Amino acid sequence: MRPRDIQSVRGITIILAAADPERFRTALVLALSQAALGGRARIFLQERSVALLNGDDAADYAAAGLPGRATMLADALDAGVEIIGCQSGLALVNAAAGDFDPRISWGGMVGLLQSLADDRLVIV
């Protein structure tokens, strides 16, 4: 099997539709894998899922030798994955944008869809 040309890797936009830590881990793994292939990767955290951008669950995964959510999020940001939090979600979780990593951007669903281009859209 011949490796795909990196230029031909389509982007992926993942929408996290619920504040489910396991689904967020899946979104992070998918986005990190896409970034490793050289493609654009974005995760949009809808409404209450914004709360998952803070906190950690490292203790739940340490025995298996897996990183926690905070490490995975930092790795994704370092790898160039665009993390977008829902502006309405900030109000729902009683937070402000300044409470989060400054590399996280904030927006809404309309803006996300306007910038979709030829990305594949995945909802988890």
Residue 1: predicted pLDDT: 40
Prediction pTM value? 0.91
End-to-end C-alpha distance for the chain, whole angstroms: 29
Sequence-distant (≥ 6) Cβ neighbours of residue 80 within 8 angstroms? 35, 41
**pLDDT, mean of each 10-residue run, the chain (124 residues):** 60 97 97 96 98 95 96 98 97 96 97 96 97
Q: Which of helix, strand or coil describes residue 107?
A: strand
Q: What CATH fold (topology level) applies to the domain 12-123?
A: Hypothetical Protein Ychn; Chain: A, (3.40.1260)
pLDDT of residue 4: 53
The per-residue pLDDT for 2 is: 47
Domain residue ranges of the chain, discontinuous segments joined by +: 12-123
- How far is residue 110's CA from residue 124's CA, in Å, rounded to a whole number? 18
pLDDT at 7: 57
